[in-house]
Amino acid sequence: MYGRIVQLPLFTGISGTDLLELQDRFPFSIEPIDAGTKLLVAGERTKGLLWIVSGTVRRNLPWMEESLEGPLLIEPERLFGLDNTTAAGWKAETALEILYISKENVVRHLLRNAIVRLNFMTLLSSALQRKSAPLEVPRTVEEKLWSFVRSARLKPDSQVTLHMKMTELAERLDVSRLVLSRTLNTLAREGKIELKRETIIING
């Protein structure tokens, strides 16, 4: 199990001795989860750290879905701070393997390890820097669409499904509905997106 755990976010660089010491303090292991299982509900208090070790998970927002493959640590920034409720709903899209550690064990044991603590700070800092990085001002409708998608997705190569009416998306992008429709139809013909009723599928 050591070889698999050290590939997960937060555990990179930890020694086998340190990992065994952590397991002596509190037992944890990789567990199987069936496809279709609800993992987290949006708005619920975050009670621990959840890793997707393998498989594909679906992140659900009211207007968007995103398919993400493991390894992945789900919303670690929501464990502490002013808002420690889950931002999105999470569901197993395929059979998964997961690792879960409660907040109590994170605080009492996991973050006492210097390597884990450094990895955690690096992970949170990187996420904050990505959000605050200066972006080029999009000029065309297509550029505005890709900029909007980049700001919403967690991984640059993930599949994103937008669930919104054309008028709503046009308002978000600050463009006319007609021009947006023409742009989307062009992108669909080029194979960059798929268009369905009130749905836009964007493959990585």
Residue 103 pLDDT: 97
Q: Which of 193, 203, 149, 202 is nearest to 173 (CA)?
A: 149
Question: Is residue 34 located within the same domain as residue 123?
Answer: yes
Q: Is 169 helix (H, G, I), strand (E, B) or coil?
A: helix
What CATH number has the domain bearing residue 23? 2.60.120.10
Q: Same domain, yes or no, for 91 and 162? A: no
Which CATH number covers residue 180?
1.10.10.10
Residue 29 exposure: Cα atoms within 13 Å on the Cβ side: 5
Q: Out of 109, 132, 155, pick the residue that ends a domain.
A: 132
Q: What angle do CA 139, 145, 150 make, to 5 degrees?
A: 110
**66 and 167 co-located in one domain:** no
The range of the structural domain enclosing residue 197 comes to 141-202
Looking at residue 73, its pLDDT comes to: 95
DSSP 167: H
| 134 Cβ contact partners less than 8 Å away, ≥ 6 residues apart | none
Residues 74 and 156 in one domain: no
Question: Do 119 and 157 fall into the same domain?
Answer: no
Q: Which residues contact 68 (CB under 8 A, 6 or more apart)?
A: 52, 56, 57, 58, 59, 154, 155, 158
Same structural domain for residues 50 and 8? yes
Q: Which of 132, 153, 177 is the last residue of a domain?
A: 132
Look at the chain and report how many structural domains it folds into: 2
pLDDT truncated to tens, each residue of the chain (204 aa)? 778 898 898 999 999 999 999 999 999 999 999 999 999 999 999 999 999 999 999 999 999 999 999 999 999 999 998 899 999 999 999 999 999 999 999 999 999 999 999 999 999 998 888 777 666 778 899 999 999 998 889 998 899 999 999 999 999 999 999 999 999 999 999 999 999 988 999 987
In terms of domains, do 20 and 49 share one? yes
- The whole-number pLDDT of residue 151 equals 86
Q: Same domain for 100 and 170?
A: no
* 118 in the same domain as 23: yes
> Model pTM?
0.88
Say whether 185 sits in a helix, a strand or coil. helix
Pair (113, 191) in one structural domain: no
23 with 124, same domain: the answer is yes
* CA dist., res. 157 & res. 67, Å (int): 10
> Which of 95, 113, 132 is at the close of a domain?
132
Q: Are residues 171 and 92 in the same domain?
A: no
Check residue 132 and give its pLDDT.
72
Residue 148, SS3 per DSSP = helix
Amino acid at 176: S
**Which residues on neighbouring strands pair with residue 58, listed in sequence order?**
67, 91
Q: 10 Å Cβ neighbour count for 119?
A: 19
